[in-house]
């Protein structure tokens, strides 16, 4: 398939003047490539893959929380609006403080907000979003609003929403439908409330995991007549887009943010390198030194997890299907194994493949007592949690997001976040790294929204190299970093423009 890649030439105009965003006047080449209880449920018509991603047998929150469902509350913000559904609008002040802290660590978004606000490059854009709702994504949403967009938002994960941040957004006038501990029915209800609005129809989609895009395809396909494009962040969502494209069912252009350099090499690697330890420590209080850990998958997420655990003194094994990633693991000093070879002896099992049934019931049955099992991939399909919901096994809540699953002989495993994304469900993630991804998402939305008709076909595109370089350059001042500039002679020798792009699209960083 690699030999048959098509190339698209893109002007890169985003509706912002060249002196503000310098990639505006460049023609860029894109590569298209494949990437490896009592309410009636709204989700019956949704595909099994979507339901698997975010279904839950039980919804829970901390015991200190109000147990009344937000759907049963009548809340209004200070402006009198009730077009939102959050846990408690009274928490808005605390959420606002968290957002203000996040802004200090998101220099590129704040710079973009300042540089492009006068031009309003997203004026007229109606963006419906489904992402994690945290202080960092709140800065992204408010930046999109400052650039002229109207936004409606739901959460892409039932456990990752920060209730106080959702309240702050609702208080600021953003229609947000999300709270921590949603049920499966709540999850789809929130997405529907974002999409199905009288007198308001989205013309852009910002998705993380593909569930929002999938819902619109299934329930409101006619909406795609007015939608200009989709921006997708996760490997799961990108995989779904390529499936639609291959089947000829993708009816709007889509931007694959997940495979942009700024997402792969920074968010996936550096974010997970720090947050894996945070998530495990907060939930289990364990010491890592000397522990035996198996990490399933050695992509950028796996590389980050392995590096962090190795640095803490853990003995790390890796499983891989790709011989190139496998060789990288070996050269980095990790032993490559099959999961069956070490499953009886390891203390921690971490999945980060983007696949399904990586850890099966057979593996779970063979694990040692008190083995910790968790997932760092986007969806909860990697660990076969459904197979553990059987009469012979006992589930015991230890603390929020931590369950003991107990076998008849007394053996137990420690399951974190019911197999969902560990770092955003159980801890937090580094704000600065998320600034890189969020800025890339914002620029992708600007590009798709302002692109003239015909520039993008109904297919999946990668971001232009110049855009990646621009995002990186916005973050360098934080480190007081000084880039070396090419001389005219050097630029001519290398055949480059002095202002970039500095690498061809096929270059692997």
Average pLDDT of the chain is 87
Which residues are documented as binding site?
A: 134, 208, 233, 263, 267, 299-304, 320, 423
Among the listed ranges 198-202, 287-291, 421-425, which one has the minimum average pLDDT value?
421-425
Distance between start and end Cα atoms, the chain: 22
pLDDT per residue over 456-489, tens digit each?
A: 999 999 988 889 999 999 999 999 999 999 999 9
Which residues are documented as binding site for substrate?
A: 134, 208, 233, 263, 267
Which residues are documented as binding site for NAD(+)?
A: 299-304, 320, 423
Distance CA 273, CA 290 (A): 18
- Partnered with residue 404 across adjacent β-strands are 396, 414
- Partnered with residue 229 across adjacent β-strands are 204
Q: What is the pLDDT of residue 27?
A: 40
Given a contact cutoff of 8 angstroms between Cβ atoms, the answer to whether 319 and 336 are in contact is yes
Q: What is the pLDDT of residue 66?
A: 63
Given a contact cutoff of 8 angstroms between Cβ atoms, the answer to whether 149 and 228 are in contact is no
Place of tokens 């938002």: 153
Q: What is the pLDDT of residue 85?
A: 97
Structure tokens at 262: 């700024």
**How do 460-462 and 254-256 pair as beta strands?**
parallel
Place of tokens 């030194």: 289
Query: Domains in the chain, start-ordered, CATH in brackets?
Result: 72-259+429-475 (3.40.50.1480), 270-419 (3.40.50.720)
Report the pLDDT averaged over residues 255-272. Answer: 89
Query: What Å distances lie between residue 168 and 93, 105, 112, 171, CA to CA?
Result: 6, 19, 22, 5
Q: What is the pLDDT of residue 64?
A: 42
Distance CA 51, CA 56 (A): 9
Give this prediction's pTM.
0.79
Q: Where are the beta strands (DSSP E) in 262-370?
A: 292-296, 315-319, 335-336, 348-351
Give the SS3 label for residue 135.
Answer: helix
pLDDT at 6 over 70: no
pLDDT per residue over 293-337, tens digit each?
A: 999 999 999 999 999 999 999 999 999 999 999 999 999 999 999
pLDDT band at residue 65 under the 50/70/90 scheme? low
pLDDT per residue over 76-119, tens digit each?
A: 999 999 999 999 999 999 999 999 999 999 999 999 888 877 88
């Amino acid at each position: 398939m690699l030999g048959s890649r098509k190339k698209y030439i893109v002007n890169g105009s985003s509706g912002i003047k060249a002196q503000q965003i310098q990639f505006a006047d460049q023609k860029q080449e894109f590569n298209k490539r494949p990437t490896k209880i009592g309410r009636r449920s709204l989700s019956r018509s949704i595909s099994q893959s979507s339901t698997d991603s975010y279904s839950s047998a039980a919804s829970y929150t901390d015991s200190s929380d109000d147990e009344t469902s937000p759907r049963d509350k009548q809340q209004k913000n200070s402006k009198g609006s009730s077009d939102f559904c959050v846990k408690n609008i009274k928490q808005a002040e605390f959420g606002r403080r968290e957002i203000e802290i996040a802004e200090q660590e998101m220099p590129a978004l704040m710079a973009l907000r300042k540089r492009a606000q006068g031009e309003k490059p997203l004026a007229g854009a109606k963006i419906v979003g489904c992402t994690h709702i945290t202080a960092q994504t709140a800065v992204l949403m408010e930046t999109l609003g400052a650039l002229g967009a109207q936004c409606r938002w739901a959460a892409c994960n039932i456990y990752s929403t920060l209730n106080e941040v959702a309240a702050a957004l609702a208080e600021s006038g953003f229609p947000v439908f999300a709270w921590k501990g949603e049920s499966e029915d709540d999850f789809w209800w929130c997405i529907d409330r974002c999409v199905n609005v009288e007198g308001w129809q989205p013309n852009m989609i910002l998705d993380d995991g593909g569930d929002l895009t999938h819902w619109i395809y299934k329930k409101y396909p006619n909406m795609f007549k007015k939608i200009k494009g989709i921006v997708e962040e996760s490997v799961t969502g990108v995989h779904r887009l390529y499936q639609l494209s291959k089947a000829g069912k993708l009816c709007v252009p889509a931007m694959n943010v997940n495979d942009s350099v700024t997402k792969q090499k920074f968010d996936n690697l550096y974010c997970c390198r720090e947050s894996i330890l945070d998530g495990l420590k907060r939930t289990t209080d364990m010491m890592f030194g000397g522990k035996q850990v198996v990490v399933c998958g050695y992509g950028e997420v796996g590389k980050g997890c392995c590096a962090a655990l190795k640095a803490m003194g853990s003995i790390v094994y890796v499983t891989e299907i790709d011989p190139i990633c496998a060789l990288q693991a070996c050269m980095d000093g990790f032993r490559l194994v099959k999961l069956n070879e070490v499953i009886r002896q390891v203390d921690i099992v971490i999945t980060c493949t983007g696949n399904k049934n990586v850890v099966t019931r057979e593996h779970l049955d063979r694990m040692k007592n008190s083995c910790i099992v968790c997932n760092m991939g986007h969806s909860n399909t990697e660990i076969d949690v459904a197979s553990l919901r059987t009469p012979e096994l006992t589930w015991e809540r230890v603390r929020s997001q931590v369950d003991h699953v107990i076998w008849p002989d007394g053996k137990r495993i420690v399951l974190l976040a019911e197999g969902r994304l560990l770092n955003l469900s159980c801890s937090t993630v580094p704000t600065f790294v998320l600034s890189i991804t969020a800025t890339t998402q914002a620029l992708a939305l600007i590009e798709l929204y302002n692109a003239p008709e015909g520039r993008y076909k109904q297919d999946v595109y990668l971001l232009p190299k110049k855009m990646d370089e621009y995002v990186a350059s916005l973050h360098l001042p934080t480190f007081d970093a000084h880039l070396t500039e090419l001389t005219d002679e050097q630029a001519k020798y290398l055949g480059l423009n002095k202002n970039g792009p500095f690498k061809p699209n096929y270059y692997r960083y």
